[in-house]
A and B are shown apart, each in its own frame.
Chain A
Amino acid sequence: MPKPTLALLSAFLFAFGVSLLSDRLDPYYLDVVIGVGINLILAVSLNLVNGYTGQFSLGHAGFMAVGAYFSAAISLFVAPAFIGPAGTSALSQGAFFLAALATGGICAASAGLLVGVPSLRLKGDYLALVTLGFGEIIRVLFQNIEKFGGALGLNRIPAYTTIFWVIAFLALTLFVVTCLVHSTYGRGFLATRDDEIASEAVGLNPTRYKIVAFVIGAFFAGIAGGLYGHFKLTITPTGFGFEKSIEIVVMVIMGGMGNTLGVILAAVLLTLLPELLRPIAEYRMIIYSLLLIVMMLARPQGLFNFKFGQTRS
């Protein structure tokens, strides 16, 4: 069996093992770990777009919102019709959760396609702005859909997200992104990032690569959104504003763009930092933002990027 597949399967087994143990773990730590895991899925999927393909997107939270809303809608409005109001067996519950997450992911991917096709013709700052704009438009749209609770959002979402699902989907995200980037096809992403004109000259289609990266990134953002909704149990449109997108982008850049391991470390660090600073609650966000500036000044290539001599613009 090829190595990555083996790693994926063992990650699933590991997730299952942890979920058996989860009753004995401190619920606070379990919550923190689930939060970290969801942020990791977001950061790793955005890294495919921002890091490997070099397309600066500021709309990731918008796709997360699409996934969160549609998967919550499946769990709230569709699933009870099949399994009754009180969830029957754990197996059918799991199956429906999987279906809900998949729906959320596919809806987010479709939104990604819809957004990506027109906007990926733009570059750099302009692309960042357009994606930011689309993210905000998605937020305002959800605010105006009565079925989804308008500005109040959806609540009483069933608490399906467990540590098992988070680890399993994190493993799947890592598997897909890593295998894709290291495949023959995936070299096109790197070529698009490194020099778009040169990649065009050797016969690649940069626009198609950008769109593929964007759609896959949006798919996993949708999955992360679904997990988030079934973890927090209540979602509001304001929770998916551009602040959330920026939070994810910061993780990617701090990790060193296009460096999956670095991005993972940065996402863990940045999710835990506010938790660690909780004792000095009044100043913690001030310290967080100061650290952000200082880290950018001290290590502009990313905190965990140890490949020197490479400059990327």
Chain B
Amino acid sequence: MSEFLQQLLNGLSLGAIYALIALGYTMVYGVLRFINFAHSDVFMVGAYLGYYLGKLVPPGTLWGGLFVLFAAMIGCAGLGMLIERLAYRPLRGAATLNVLITAIGVSLLLEYSGQRFFGAAPRVFPPIFPERNFQLGALIISTNQLVVIGVAVLLMLGLQFIVYRTKIGTAMRAVSQNPKAAQLVGVNNDVVISFTFGLGSALAAAGGILYALNYPSIDPLMGVMPGLKAFVAAVLGGIGNIPGAALGGLILGTVETFIGGSQWSTYKDAIAFAILIIILLFRPAGLLGRFTAEKV
């Protein structure tokens, strides 16, 4: 039983990270209807920003850690907006496939630039937050897990506030429902899309640092697998649906952790995709998504 709870805790903290990345995918899909392949590399850049900034602050302090986290989020928000401005905006209105290939190009560019400038060898991520283990019965809770879950919950609540209680959030929802109609009522779509990329990229940066804290090794290709799985999480919850992405991330992280702890651990990477296939075949709109019929 205690082992089950321990695994559940590990799974939830992994799931919280997946959820943070998935939110970026789902928001961009909501406003632009395309898979932003470069998102997983923004996640990687976030982890590297954390690595370099982490050397500037005293290690193992809460305020230092939070400073690194926010600075990396702001840096990645800028990067996300820059990518959107330079690579995606000129293709507004072009076929989805072209945007998809451009996204793949941006993703490769970030990965190879990372290998060139950060170095291809993995690096050990510094412990920027204080580290201690708490004993709760038979359950061992590390401060890292608390930080991961705490930060993820706070960010998701913040996101919920932005999307449902602010003007720009209302505009985001309007654009995702109908971009043309949004424009007609005076929404500046470009500003909204740029903001969406900034917001998603900031969450990815937070995810990157939290991931690096729990698996303290970073390399320029570290984003590929978590990125794919986070996208699966977004589809699982219903793409374009913000609570769905959070739910999908948590489910995926938990299932994966339990599989990883069982005799089937070598199939861990396949599980996410098997879930994806099953969900798409039986409930293509995702768990929380609404099914829309195609109009002729």
Question: A: which residues have CB within 8 A of B?
Answer: 56, 118-119, 121-122, 124-126, 128-130, 132-134, 136-137, 140-141, 143-144, 197, 242, 246, 249-250, 253-254, 257, 282-283, 285-286, 288-290, 292-293, 296-297, 300, 311-313
Contacts and interface: CB of A to CB of B under 8 A. Distances in A.
A140 B270 contact: yes
Contacts of A125: 33-35, 96, 100
Nearest to A242: B228
Contacts of A285: 108, 112, 115
A149 to B, nearest CB: 14
Given A144-B266, A313-B95, A246 B104 contact: yes
Nearest to A144: B266
B276 interface: yes
24 contacts: A118-B281, A119-B277, A122-B280, A122-B281, A129-B280, A132-B273, A136-B273, A197-B294, A242-B228, A246-B104, A250-B101, A253-B101, A257-B97, A285-B115, A286-B109, A286-B116, A289-B105, A289-B112, A293-B102, A293-B109, A296-B101, A297-B90, A297-B91, A300-B98
A254 B101 CA distance: 9
Contacts of B131: none
B108 A197 contact: no
Contact of A300 (B95, B105, B235, B280): B95
Contacts of B33: 125
Nearest to A291: B105
Given A288-B112, A313-B95, 14 more contacts: A56-B97, A122-B281, A122-B284, A125-B35, A132-B228, A133-B232, A140-B269, A197-B296, A249-B101, A286-B109, A292-B101, A292-B102, A293-B102, A311-B95
Interface in B247-274: 266-267, 269-270, 272-274
A137 to B, nearest CB: 5
B273 A134 contact: yes
B26 to A, nearest CB: 13
A141 B270 CA distance: 8
Nearest to A246: B104
B204 interface: no
Contacts of A242: 228
Contacts of A143: 266
B108 A289 contact: yes
A129 B279 CA distance: 12
Contacts of A246: 104
B102 A297 contact: yes
The 10 closest A-B pairs by CB, nearest first: A133-B273, A292-B105, A289-B108, A140-B270, A289-B109, A293-B105, A285-B112, A300-B98, A296-B102, A137-B270
A141 B274 CA distance: 12
B87 interface: yes
B70 to A, nearest CB: 30
Given A136-B270, A253-B98, A293 B106 contact: yes
Contacts of B108: 285, 288-289, 292
Contacts of A296: 91, 98, 101-102, 105
A293 B106 CA distance: 7
Contacts of B18: none
B94 interface: yes
- Which of A121, A134, A293, A297 has most B Cβ within 10 Å? A293
A257 B112 CA distance: 27
B102 A126 contact: no
B104 A130 contact: no
B113 interface: yes
A250 B108 CA distance: 12
B27 to A, nearest CB: 15
B51 interface: no
Contacts of A290: 105, 109
A141 to B, nearest CB: 7
A300 to B, nearest CB: 4
B197 interface: no
Contacts of B125: none
Nearest to B266: A144
B97 A253 contact: yes
Interface in B279-296: 280-281, 284, 294, 296
B43 interface: no
Contacts of B267: 140, 144
Nearest to A151: B266
Contacts of A254: 101
A292 B231 contact: no
Interface in B106-122: 106, 108-109, 112-113, 115-116
Nearest to A293: B105
Given A140-B269, A286-B112, A312-B95, A130 B105 contact: no
Nearest to B268: A140
A300 B92 CA distance: 11
